[in-house]
Amino acid sequence: MDVSAITVPTLAEEVYDRVRSGITSGTLPPGSRVSIRALADQLSVSAMPVREALKRLQAEGFVVFERRSISVVSLTAGELLQVFAVRSQLEQLATEWALTRLTPADVLDLRDVLAEMADDRLEDGRWRALNRRFHQRFYECAGSPYLLDLLRGVWDKVEPYMAIYASTVEDFGEAHRQHVRMLEFIEARDLPALLAENEWHLEHTRRTVAEALPDAQPGVPRPPT
């Protein structure tokens, strides 16, 4: 069999991957309308694999089919709070497991990611990719593919809003300082401090994004420690 041949299932999967990537990267931002014909023309395919991809994405909660239109799901500030609350609980468990299995090589990898993130010339898209890589690389240390799969699902729901975060903040300096503190606590195997810092890191990100949404509520400063 010619493994390079494109079959219908392969084509459908490729269309799904491309559209899903457009949503999670923010190229198709929350709330944007999606045209089956326009996507089909853009990807040089028929309407059928695009429709199949969108139906699959609807089942995963990424798009919504309305009476006469299809749009990318747009979370309210309240819904975003729920997603971040779920992420917080999963990351707490991943942190506890990861610290018990952490190796010097893992720490070096995390340092390398942070070193690249320190470049203030990074484009938003590259910074977002490295930001996710930093967190994912640490949680890989937990040694649980099941937990990591759950985390990826939640991260995918948050990822479109990281484009909003990147476009809202003046620079990534505060996020970088938080990452540096997290790495310090990781190296020290200081679980309570790391959990507290990660909780603040998530809250800082969520508030920054939520305050840019249409139903934004006034932010609350970080409590004193």
CATH topology of domain 8-72: Arc Repressor Mutant, subunit A (1.10.10)
Q: Is the pLDDT of residue 35 over 50?
A: yes
Span of 105-119, 164-178, 189-203 with lowest mean pLDDT: 164-178
CATH superfamily, region 77-210: GntR ligand-binding domain-like (1.20.120.530)
* Distance, CA of 57 to CA of 65 (rounded, Å): 10
* Distance, CA of 83 to CA of 124 (rounded, Å): 22
* Distance, CA of 75 to CA of 79 (rounded, Å): 6
Q: Is the pLDDT of residue 215 over 60?
A: no
Q: Which residue has the higher pLDDT, 219 or 119?
A: 119
The predicted pLDDT at position 217 comes to: 47
What is residue 140's DSSP assignment? G
The predicted pLDDT at position 214 comes to: 66
User: Which token pair is 19?
Assistant: 């559209």
Domain boundaries, the chain: 8-72, 77-210
Residue 101: band (very low, low, confident or very high) from pLDDT cuts 50, 70, 90: very high
Q: Is the pLDDT of residue 150 over 90?
A: yes
Amino acid at 106: D
Among 222, 132, 219, 122, CA closest to 172: 122
This prediction's pTM? 0.81
SS3 state of residue 63: strand
Residue 7: band (very low, low, confident or very high) from pLDDT cuts 50, 70, 90: low
Longest dimension (CA), the chain: 65
Mean pLDDT of 176-199: 96
